[in-house]
Amino acid sequence: MRVVLLGPPGAGKGTQALKIAKEFDIPHISTGDIFRQNLRDNTELGKLAKEYMDKGLLVPDEVTNRIVEDRLEKEDCKKGFLLDGYPRNIPQAEELDKFLEERGHSLTAVINIQVEREALIDRITGRRVCPVCGATYHIKTSPPKVDNVCDKCGSELIQRSDDKLESVVKRLEVYEKETKPLIDYYTKKGILVNIDGNKSIDEVFEDIKKALLGDRRNDIH
Ligand code: ADP
Ligand code: ADP
Ligand code: ZN
């Protein structure tokens, strides 16, 4: 199963991706997580990505495409994959199609998680993440058991520097202009599935599971 998770920042892509990857036993590939890991490891890629991420802008396509393609070449992606946060504009989507086509593959489904703008801002500004294991929380809807401490590894939670209100507004703008056209792009290919992301985390997951199980039955390998 080769799946893309689409949706505005804060829609719940990362949250759902962990559950989908576990349920269907496929690797979860998040370009945002890859950039943040590089930032923590202080690599050249991390330094370059930071310049764009802090401004709420997209990291250049040549860099992003190469990273995704290197990752998709790995052995564990033979059984499928779940892309979270990629593609984010039409050129990236075209590159992904070309890459898969050259290998005789195509996407199984694109899950588009829809959430209203007001809720997005609440979700992003209330998001807290674990800088060590990457777990995601929300101060109101998914708080950790102990205030500001990661349930999974005990580290102190932080707010992503691009989750402050100033960057959020810019990221939503970039989403509208660059990422939203992908809805049309994948609708035309007949593989887009819209999911109401305003429901609870578990309800959204049930809806996604149903959509993917339906798709898997029709999956011709
Ligand atoms: P994305 O990866 O799309 O940016 P996340 O999965 O990180 O989004 O979710 C953004 C924030 O919203 C997180 O703090 C997360 O805990 C919270 N969240 C995710 N899904 C829901 C939901 N269905 N209802 C309420 N809060 C949610
Ligand atoms: P969100 O929670 O907003 O969906 P992500 O973790 O997916 O955030 O992305 C954080 C930042 O990483 C983006 O604002 C952008 O700077 C960079 N980034 C992530 N994925 C891509 C991509 N596919 N192309 C370019 N930049 C990306
Ligand atoms: Zn942790």
Written as six digits, the tokens of 148 are 């500001």
Work out the number of other CB atoms within 10 angstroms of the CB of residue 210: 12
Here the tokens at position 216 are: 């898997």
36 is in an annotated binding site: yes
The pTM assigned to this predicted structure is 0.95
The answer on pLDDT for 49 being more than 70 is yes
Domains in the chain (CATH in brackets) are 2-27+74-213 (3.40.50.300)
CA distance 159 to 9: 15
Question: How far is the CA of 51 from the CAs of 56, 58, 134, 152, in angstroms?
Answer: 9, 10, 21, 30
Protein residue with least CA distance to atom 2, ligand 2: 9
- The answer, yes or no, to whether any atom of ligand 1 lies below 6 A from the CB of 12, is yes
Residues 6+ apart with CB under 8 A from 97: 106, 107
Band the pLDDT of 133: cuts 50, 70, 90: confident
Pick the ligand that lies closest to the CA of residue 130. Answer: 3
Encode pLDDT of 83-124 as tens digits: 999 999 999 999 999 999 999 999 999 999 999 999 999 999
Q: How open is the CA angle 108-112-113, to the nearest 5 degrees?
A: 135
pLDDT of residue 221: 45
- Dist CA 77 CA 29 (whole Å): 10
Task: Give the nearest ligand 2 atom to 30 CA.
Answer: 7
